[in-house]
Amino acid sequence: MALNATIHTFEIALADADRGVYESLALRVARHPSEAEDYLLTRVLAYCLETTEGIGFSSGLSTPDEPTIYVRDATGAYRSWIDVGVPDAARVHRASKAAPRVAIYTHKPPEQLRKALAGERIHRAQALHLVAVDRNLIGEWTRRLHRRMKIALSVSGGQLYLTVGSETIEGTLEVFSLAQS
């Protein structure tokens, strides 16, 4: 018997000073039984950090040729393809051909993504927007994960402040490139 997805509900007060985005988000996010909690929370965080008109989650594992998160224009064409974790080079290459902007949010060490994509053929590789999410922030949030959560997320100068209940967790975003630093 197949296991069903678990639905997580997030009520998020978003204050992203870096982009001038201030919104209340109500997200119902399906978590596949094989999806790790840190991946789920990185996916939710990426959605918040990319929030704009036309954003949405893909249908999930049943649609492997779609991005994890997308931004579409009024015609249905991709404006942004947003992936999470460490996607393989073929997927990133396909994404770069399908959308003018490709972003990857990883909760893994940046070196792991660099290694996975090193030497591979990737269309417009220099234009990829790569972001390493603070692993401590994701870890602390994972320890507080419930199926229904009310949180506040503030972003300022690449610094994240995530308030869960009465506790605030701080972390950073590291924008990096595929080139070794």
Query: Which band of pLDDT confidence, cut at 50, 70 and 90, is reported for residue 77?
Result: very high
Query: Which band of pLDDT confidence, cut at 50, 70 and 90, is reported for residue 150?
Result: very high
pTM > 0.85: yes
The Cα–Cα gap between 2 and 149 comes to: 27
pLDDT at 175 over 60: yes
State residue 35's pLDDT score.
92
Among the residues of the chain, which ranges form H helices? Answer: 37-50, 89-98, 110-117, 135-143
Helix (H, G, I), strand (E, B) or coil at 114: helix
Q: Cβ(96)–Cβ(125) under 8 Å?
A: yes
